Amino acid sequence: MNKILFLITLCFCNQLSANDLLGLPPVPVPDDNPQTTEKIELGQLLFNDQRLSGDGTINCASCHQPDKAFTDGLPVARGIRKQEGTRNSPTVVNSAFYSSFFHDGRAGSLEEQALGPFLNPIEHGLENENKIIDLVKQDANYVEKFKQAFGISKAGIQIGHIAKAIASYERTIINGNSLFDQYFYARNRSVLSESTARGSRIFRRKGNCSNCHEMNWKNALFTDHNFYNIGVGFGKIEPVLDKVLSKLRKGVHPDELNLTDVQRSELGRFSVTKVIADIGKFKTPGLRNIALTGPYMHDGSLETLEEVIEYYDKGGDDNRFKDSAIFPLKLTEQEKKDLVAFLRSLTSSVYLKADVTSSGLDNN
Ligand code: HEC
Ligand code: HEC
């Protein structure tokens, strides 16, 4: 994991402008997978290719749709043959900044993450890695693109190249520059309403939100990259926890079970670490574009941002593993509205309509 991180370089700036990055730190790029235009383009092709699935209907963009800020609008994901999983599709926007991937953090890099969905029986549903490589090799266009991106012949195409290309593309899916960033980081005080500005303070103070959805004076990813049990969905397994834990000891490939077995899914971080204190913990998600990425939480159980705020205000659903930072907030009705307004101000300018952006905001 301790790869040397390179900062974004100039040749990469045709993909991302300084404005896109307002409010964000530099994009980390691992030294064994530098960004190149050829790789990024190849990754984008792979991300959008339905042929790379068991029934030819699913691509990464089926669940990570660009016009829904790279989510799917469903409570839980739906893969090949319309099979439902157990978890909500998170956005891939800004996932380049994460140190672990999936709601339970079971992948350590974008490269590692990228191969999971191809083989998961209820996502792309391909039998094995060779199947992916065979599909790619059948297409002369791909063979040429792999040559340009990696300098390899057809025989040299390996699964790691596919992972690297997809990860490189994902490192260009970066959104900063929301109204909040304009206000907080570019110090343009006129862009937020009073309610939204109050919401940003409640987020950091009375609401205790930034305790986990971290931000600082230089930038905000709205995550601390940590895992917490905030109570969501845990009621489904608390009464049968012992039974669920003993089933886990039988040891079947975790990726498959986390997405096919609802009870197993609810164990969260525990199924990765096997540490009792991690039962029911999930990764703190970033909150950028949050107005566009509902339903919310790992199980998609909260439909609106208003419901999310009500959930936190009551101190979450109690269980014996719940984190002590989740407690009743006693927010007033106005404070709840302010918090929702703040969350809505985290939408990146790339998603804002012309009438909003023309009021003094640069949309590029
Ligand atoms: C059937 C829907 C579906 C498809 C297809 C799919 N994903 Fe996902 N994606 C999900 C779900 C659900 C999760 C969360 C799974 C979990 O936490 O166990 C996820 C998680 C991720 C994450 C981690 C985000 C985070 O915040 O940790 C990335 C990155 C990602 N997917 C990229 C991809 C790529 C690349 C592909 C194509 C190779 C792909 N996905 C295909 C539904 C899908
Ligand atoms: C103790 C850490 C912690 C605190 C405090 C906290 N959150 Fe969260 N938040 C999380 C975690 C962990 C999740 C994911 C839970 C899950 O998926 O079940 C989450 C999920 C969310 C989501 C849904 C994100 C999505 O993409 O589905 C929103 C919105 C949110 N939090 C906003 C807030 C707000 C607003 C506050 C303050 C009132 C707050 N959070 C306080 C840790 C925290």
pLDDT digits (tens, 9 = 90+) for 163-201: 999 999 999 999 999 999 999 999 999 999 999 999 999
Mean pLDDT in residue range 63-91: 94
The first and second tokens of residue 41, run together, are: 């383009």
Per-residue pLDDT at 262: 87
Q: Kindly list the distances between the CA atom of residue 177 and the CA atoms of 67, 166, 243, 279, in Å, as whole numbers in the listed order.
A: 17, 24, 47, 36
Per-residue pLDDT at 253: 66
Comparing CA positions, the residue from 188, 194, 182 lying closest to residue 337 is 194
- The alpha carbon of 254 and the centre of ligand 1 are apart by a number of angstroms equal to 15
The chain-wide mean pLDDT, for the chain, equals 90
Q: Is the dihedral of CA 69, 293, 164, 221 positive or negative?
A: positive
> Dihedral through CA 227, CA 228, CA 230, CA 234, nearest 10?
80
- The alpha carbon of 283 and the centre of ligand 2 are apart by a number of angstroms equal to 9
The first and second tokens of residue 77, run together, are: 């994901």
| Ligand number with the minimum distance to the CA of 289 | 2
**In angstroms, rounded to a whole number, what is the distance separating the alpha carbons of residues 294 and 71?**
8
Comparing CA positions, the residue from 130, 118, 125, 126 lying closest to residue 159 is 130
Q: Which residue out of 87, 228, 270, 336 has the highest number of ligand 2 atoms within 8 Å of its CB and is therefore the one to mutate? A: 228
Q: Per residue in 301-354, pLDDT tens? A: 999 999 999 999 999 999 999 999 999 999 999 999 999 999 999 999 999 864
- The alpha carbon of 134 and the centre of ligand 1 are apart by a number of angstroms equal to 22
Q: Per residue in 104-149, pLDDT tens? A: 999 999 999 999 899 988 888 999 999 999 999 999 999 999 999 9
Over pLDDT 90: what percentage of the chain?
Answer: 79
CB 126 within 8 A of CB 304: no
Exposure string over 4-16, b if 16+ CB within 10 A, otherwise e: eeeebeeebeebb
| Ligand number with the minimum distance to the CA of 50 | 1
Within 13 Å, how many C-alpha atoms sit on residue 82's CB side? 0
Within 13 Å, how many C-alpha atoms sit on residue 339's CB side? 27
